[in-house]
Structure formats: structure tokens, C-alpha cells
Chains A and B, each alone.
Chain A
Amino acid sequence: MKLKPFYTFVSLFVVGAILVFANTPKISGYSHVENEVVNETKSDDSYNKMMDVLTHQRCMNCHPSDHIPKQGDESHPHYFGMARGEDDHGFEATSCNTCHQSENNLNSGVPGAPHWALAPASMAWEGLTRAQIAERLLDKNTNGNRSHQELIKHMTEDDLVLWAWEPGVDADGEPRTIPPVSKEEFKKAVENWFADGAVIPSK
């Protein structure tokens, strides 16, 4: 969906604000940036292959910049007002696990995977450019103090990350879309990008 230029202008300013206050982003400070990422075409370099996945809705929906998980291919705010809560797991009594279990539910269409939760606020990607996402990914201040090796392991082995390729069906029983790059290709791309020095291409 194309956003109006007006929003783009406002958003660039807001993104700056988010970067400054990365650890304490405010809900009111957030607004969408026009998504420069094109997911339809497959990229052939490792960086862009990896980014084709990270910017896909299956990943992005749980890396929100406004503390509100998103749902569906159009990334609407999670219904019923669910949000990050204190510990990325929703609210005290109504948490992610009130509905989401450790595997997809084919009867209800509720997705699930081990440790289902939002990515921490420091890993908010929604609205960022690929380069900004990569910066955040590599920055130990935002990535949970992970080394490159630990990042590779997380991105290629973690059940919740890999859920993106086995996202189950929706409430209507229709299969969810998966990232435009296969799981094996993604793993390879991640490994190669780090092996090549994790260089963030400049524009």
C-alpha cells in the first residue's frame, strides 16, 4: 500500500527520534515510513536475500516500533488491543500464551512456536530501512549483546525465527504466506553475509 508523501516526510523525522531513544521508544512517537523494500523480486546477494526475509511480514509483524504486534500480510495491529506489555509477552494475565502455544494450531488458525513473544523493543524494525535494520542487528546495545557467532546461531537455529517458513494456517484455514527466500537459502545468506564481514552496503 502506498502511503501519502506527507506521512513519509513526517516519518523520516520520527525515525530519527526513535533511533535516539531506541531503548525507550514511545508509542506516540511512532508512525509509518514508506517501505522502500521490495519483496516481490528475489535478491541475489547475501545481504539483500537476508533482508528480503527480515522485512517480510512473517518477521516484521513481531518487530514493531509501536509495541503493538501486527497480524496478516497487510500487517494490521493485533486485534483486541494486545501489546508488548512489560516483558514482551503481553499483559499480566492475558499474555501471548493465553492464545499462542508452542506450535501452530491448525484447528483455530492461531500461530504458535516456542517462546512466542515480541522481539524486544530494542529490536524494533518496523519502519526502518534495510541499512538501519542491519545496524540494529549488529549493535550489541540493541541486539541483546550478541556476537556475530551468536547472531548466526540465533538467526539460523532459533525455532521462533524459523517459524517464518512454517507459519501454519490462518483463521480461515488458509496457509500463511512465507518469506520470498527459502529457509535453506536464508541460512546460507546469513552465514555468507557474516563470513564476508557483515558489511552494510551504503546507498
Chain B
Amino acid sequence: GGIEQLKAFVAGSDSLQADFTQQVTGQRAANSQQASGHVMIQRPGKFRWTYTKPYDQVIVGDGQKLWLYDKDIEQVTVKKLDQALGSSPAALLAGSNDIEKAYVLKDAGSKDGLDWLDAKPKSSESTFQSVKMGFAKNELVVMELKDNFGQTTVIRFNKLERNPKLSADQFKFVPPKGVDVISE
């Protein structure tokens, strides 16, 4: 089932990288935003979540802190990593057992050729009401994150590569010159 595949997925990849697309459903606004980019993960706790479309945004977890850099805003906001779950699913994936710590997991059967699990956040503070994860052959294919307004963000991973060699400085964030860095 989903939980078994999640455990195999986490156990089987100390590091991973993939392209992703992101689509928000249930969006009233005229342009339900399509976004896409690339994710790199180095367990435990390190990740780089890069949006290249519709604009340049990078979210880096260096193991202690979360850096969010928006190129057009020319600003970096720095937060403690434990607040990261709300802003990036990579934080969820990068932890060795963060998922069990922060979420109650339940198998949710199979659908569209994937085995699913349903994760409900333990803390009421979470920005997500529920997270669904769909697996095939022990690999994560889809994540569906439902917010408190009934909007669902669907993230699809493709060209997923397990245990690639990723250099350590991918998971350090060095603010570009002249950019405003704001930490808590």
C-alpha cells in the first residue's frame, strides 16, 4: 500500500532529484497558476526547490534554516526549518521520518495506477488540511496538498533520479550581492 511504498521510497533514496509541475485546482482567479521547476533532496533535512516558471523563486533547506529567495523581489526571507512544512513539500520529503512525526498516515488504496496514502497534519497550525501521496514501484509520482480553503495543489514529479551525486553547496544558500536578507 501507500505507506509501505513511502517507507521504501524514503529508505531507498538518501538523495534524489526530479523535475516537477505544480497546478492549483479549484482556483477562482482567472489564471490558475501553472508552475514548474526542479527539486533536489539530500537526506536528512536538506533540499533545494527551484521554481523556474512562472518566475524565479528558490526555496533551500540547509538542515537548520529555510531560505526563500525571489529574484524579482530581490529579497531572501530566512525562517527556522520547522516552519518549512507549510511552504515546501520538499521539507516533508527531505526528513528521514518527518512525515510520521508531523502527520498521521493512512493507506488510501489505489487509483489511476498509483498506490496512495493520506497524511493528516497532527498540528492544527499547518497550512494544509491534508496531503495525499501517490506512488508507483516505490517512487513518488504525485502529491496533492489541500489547503484550508478547499484549494488543492497538485505536484507531479517526473524524471525522478534516485541517489544522484549532489554537491553539498546545492544545499547552502549564499545570498546574491545587493539582495535584502531578512531573518526572524
Does chain A bind chain B? no
Please give the residue numbers on chain A whose beta carbons come within 8 Å of chain B beta carbons, in ascending order. none
